A and B are shown apart, each in its own frame.
Chain A
């Protein structure tokens, strides 16, 4: 970055910080307004209490007292917030000279910074970052100078992995504290914001780097312990290489809970690649399932070879059909002997009773069954 570019960047930052000050005037007014609103409400209550006293309106006075207690309780908090707002806006816009010094220092800390005129972004590149033995590569820290005046922290900063080594469970998490190029600064947030608001550009970048250089195991997007490994294609669990089970058909990788196997050849197959045999209803790989040439059903080869396909069973049943009819007829004859007609639903209990000579069926029931059995 030459002197001319540096001046251009410094001017852009200064302009944005001036806008931020204007925005701060609005924040200051809002804070004062909150305090004044509380005071005006108290003034109004005071006047109403005077009326209550003159008129001896005790119930109304009690209600007003409760309101006053509520307002007075909140007032210190509101006043403190306003005080903080007023104090935080006390810093003047840094001079061009200070900002140029910031940029010079930035170059000394990180090497030559980059500036994209189109997007108005100032950027530096970190060294390679290694956390707990995991190499995450180097990162580009981008300050969106054009958004500085808006004062919205989330729109000011991007952290881009230049040689990404993302978490196995999410390609967007390139660092335990970076998701979708957004840094979650945690304990560093206040200091980073303060540095930006005061125009301490070099401190801003150094602080962001300090967050990137550290790992907080209590609040990462993805714990570093789960950074590497293989993601189960079904449930998304991150597993170590030793725990991976590959599907012999689709080739995808699954955890122990999500992998299954073919009941015929015992190959490891995922649930999605398994087929159910229409006959035995067990799961098989595609190599062990075939189409029945007779009925077109998908059945396992074992069932097909053993003539266990449903169509074979149907055939067998129809072959056995007359025997079944004979059996049923015998029962019916027995039932007829008792006065009940064959095939009539209402006579079923009687038929059963007739088949079992030991069953005691009242004579009335038999007569009723016979009546119902008559053709209607």
Chain B
């Protein structure tokens, strides 16, 4: 099953990726951003907020955006 995964952590890449059937948002988060705290991310599926037990569907658009990013003086 293919979904569009937009990872705004780091470089902010967007790509299609395969996920196993019945993968929940929480499981997908743990797979892709292991060691991170869910609370520090804004997670949207098809531009909508969803619960952690939401089961991903074929063609879903999943966005994970950190809610806290370190700014700096130098660009």
- Given A203-B8, A207-B8, is A187 in contact with B72 using a C-beta cutoff of 8 Å? yes
Are A191 and B12 touching (Cβ within 8 A)? Answer: yes
**Residue from B8, B67, B68, B75 within 8 A of A191 (CB atoms):** B8
> Taking the complex as formed, is B6 at the interface, i.e. its CB lies under 8 A from any CB of chain A?
yes
Q: Fill in one digit per residue for B1-37: 1 if any A CB lies within 8 Å of its CB, else 0.
A: 0000010111111100000000000000000000000
Residue of A nearest to B11 (CB): A190
In the bound complex, CA of A177 to CA of B74 (Å): 10
CB distance from B58 to the nearest CB of A (A): 19
Residues of A within 8 A of B47 (CB): 101, 104-105, 108, 202
**Residue from B6, B13, B14, B71 within 8 A of A188 (CB atoms):** B71
Q: Fill in one digit per residue for A90-114: 1 if any B CB lies within 8 Å of its CB, else 0.
A: 0100000000010011001000000
In the bound complex, CA of A185 to CA of B47 (Å): 24
Query: How many residues of chain A are within 8 Å of chain B by beta carbon?
Result: 38
CB distance from A221 to the nearest CB of B (A): 6
Are B69 and A185 touching (Cβ within 8 A)? Answer: yes
Are B6 and A184 touching (Cβ within 8 A)? Answer: no
> Taking the complex as formed, is A198 at the interface, i.e. its CB lies under 8 A from any CB of chain B?
yes
Are A214 and B70 touching (Cβ within 8 A)? Answer: yes
Given contact pairs A104-B47, A210-B65, A210-B69, a sample of 9 additional A-B residue pairs in the complex whose CB atoms are under 8 Å apart: A176-B71, A185-B71, A185-B72, A186-B72, A190-B11, A200-B14, A207-B66, A210-B67, A212-B71
Are A213 and B67 touching (Cβ within 8 A)? Answer: yes
- Given A154-B75, A202-B47, is A188 in contact with B69 using a C-beta cutoff of 8 Å? yes
Residues of B within 8 A of A193 (CB): 12
> Taking the complex as formed, is B55 at the interface, i.e. its CB lies under 8 A from any CB of chain A?
no
CB distance from A131 to the nearest CB of B (A): 11
Are A195 and B73 touching (Cβ within 8 A)? Answer: no
In the bound complex, CA of A220 to CA of B71 (Å): 8
In the bound complex, CA of A177 to CA of B69 (Å): 11
5 contacts between A and B (CB under 8 A): A91-B14, A105-B44, A184-B74, A187-B71, A195-B12
Residues of A within 8 A of B69 (CB): 185-188, 191, 207, 210-211, 214
Interface residues of A (CB under 8 A from B): 91, 101, 104-105, 108, 153-154, 176-177, 183-195, 198, 200, 202-203, 206-207, 210-214, 216, 218-221
CB distance from B63 to the nearest CB of A (A): 7
> Taking the complex as formed, is B42 at the interface, i.e. its CB lies under 8 A from any CB of chain A?
yes
| Chain A interface, DSSP helix/strand/loop, else mixed | helix
Are B75 and A153 touching (Cβ within 8 A)? Answer: yes
Residues of A within 8 A of B65 (CB): 203, 206-207, 210
Residue of B nearest to A179 (CB): B73
Residue of B nearest to A220 (CB): B73
Are B11 and A219 touching (Cβ within 8 A)? Answer: no
Are B63 and A216 touching (Cβ within 8 A)? Answer: no
Residues of B within 8 A of A210 (CB): 65-69
Residues of B within 8 A of A104 (CB): 47
Residue of B nearest to A217 (CB): B70
In the bound complex, CA of A211 to CA of B66 (Å): 9
In the bound complex, CA of A94 to CA of B12 (Å): 17
Residues of A within 8 A of B68 (CB): 210, 213-214
CB distance from A179 to the nearest CB of B (A): 8
In the bound complex, CA of A153 to CA of B8 (Å): 17
In the bound complex, CA of A187 to CA of B75 (Å): 9
In the bound complex, CA of A211 to CA of B75 (Å): 13
Closest 8 CB pairs of A and B: A191-B12, A177-B71, A186-B72, A194-B12, A216-B70, A188-B69, A214-B68, A219-B72
Residues of A within 8 A of B70 (CB): 186-188, 211, 214, 216, 218-219
In the bound complex, CA of A176 to CA of B9 (Å): 21
In the bound complex, CA of A207 to CA of B69 (Å): 8
Are B75 and A185 touching (Cβ within 8 A)? Answer: yes
In the bound complex, CA of A221 to CA of B73 (Å): 6
In the bound complex, CA of A211 to CA of B47 (Å): 21
Are B71 and A216 touching (Cβ within 8 A)? Answer: yes
Residues of A within 8 A of B42 (CB): 206
